[in-house]
Structure 1
């Protein structure tokens, strides 16, 4: 379990080259500055950016498969996990879905500053995004599980992996779903929070 910023940085180094760790330092500086203008993340999390946001995002790669195919990140907000995944896997197209205008502007600015040419920002409600196949679908704080699956099912296929960090509500949310969804997903322990879980599933949910 990651408990310090030093441990989080070491964990991130397993997925990133030295130059990319430096880009995460740049990302952190950009985030701190922008957070003074709009509430992208909780102020209390800024003292633990590597643990709370960078390592928390990169841990999803351990469950994402080989690294090919489009990654769709729903309600990406400040860019987690989407921007971090794009940095770690430059050959993968990463689509960030975010409806709030100021956050869309931030995502586009951050992607440019970090030279993330594999990022596309969809600045609209998910319901208005053109259906496109995704090999991985992630959502860190988008919607309750049932609504999330209903909205996003059209982007999935039998080969789609769902990576849904749900914090302390992971087990509860899954238990409230129909049997078909419970069979599709399982809960993995987060490496950044002993009380948090990640819902991991595969395929097309019944809607």
Structure 2
């Protein structure tokens, strides 16, 4: 990963904590731990250049912190990050990584539907829900003119098509740098049909 040394050191601390905590609370699939640098960290870092400095980034269903916590570590002074995670154990893990790496982010331990509207500039989610459900979350938490960055797998085209039955939006499918069958859906202009 092409990041400054200080960021790399913090990500190494994060990866160590992920390896320690994962057997107890299943933050990521056990089969992905061996390749976590590429599968989780690099996959999250590919979003780093898609946001302007000073943006409020909200990551929904943060779980193990991908991509939101990685963004908070990689852009500590440039991006305000909110991590929404309803599972108290996973939220404790997120807070532990923040403390151990000296990183600042806001961990919101509530269900996405119950959290106060965040007014985020950027909204991200990874392996959380179908696109139509993610767009409903965006309606609540994304400010007007904001952008969604959603990691999606091989069935992304079907999800986009299904979502268009309920939503109008502009979308761009950006090929994932870590998985040629996956994309990052960059979505804006969201409104209900």
CA RMSD of aligned residues (A): 1.6
List aligned pairs for 1:115-126, cutoff 5 A: 115-117=102-104, 119-126=105-112
Residues 169 and 197 in structure 1, CA contact (< 8 A), matched pair in contact too: no
> TM-score under structure 2 normalisation?
0.93
Deviations 1:156-187 (A, max 9, x none): 23321110001222122012122784651121
Residues 58 and 123 in structure 2, CA contact (< 8 A), matched pair in contact too: yes
Distance 1:26 1:172 in 2: 38
Residues 167 and 195 in structure 1, CA contact (< 8 A), matched pair in contact too: yes
Distance 2:53 2:188 in 1: 15
> TM-score under structure 1 normalisation?
0.87
In structure 2, relative to structure 1, the CA distance for the partners of 1:59 and 1:182 (3 Å cut) is farther
- Count of aligned pairs between the two proteins: 192
Deviations 1:68-89 (A, max 9, x none): 2210000010000011000111
Residues 55 and 192 in structure 1, CA contact (< 8 A), matched pair in contact too: yes
Higher helix share: 1
The yes-or-no answer on 1:38 pairing with 2:28 is: no
In structure 2, relative to structure 1, the CA distance for the partners of 1:95 and 1:172 (3 Å cut) is same
Runs of 4+ in 1 over 3 A off after TM superposition: 179-183
Q: Which residue of 2 aligns with 1:82?
A: 68
List aligned pairs for 1:2-17, cutoff 5 A: 9=1, 13=2, 16-17=3-4
List aligned pairs for 1:70-149, cutoff 5 A: 70-91=56-77, 92-117=79-104, 119-149=105-135
Unaligned runs of 5+ residues in structure 2 are none
Higher strand share: 2
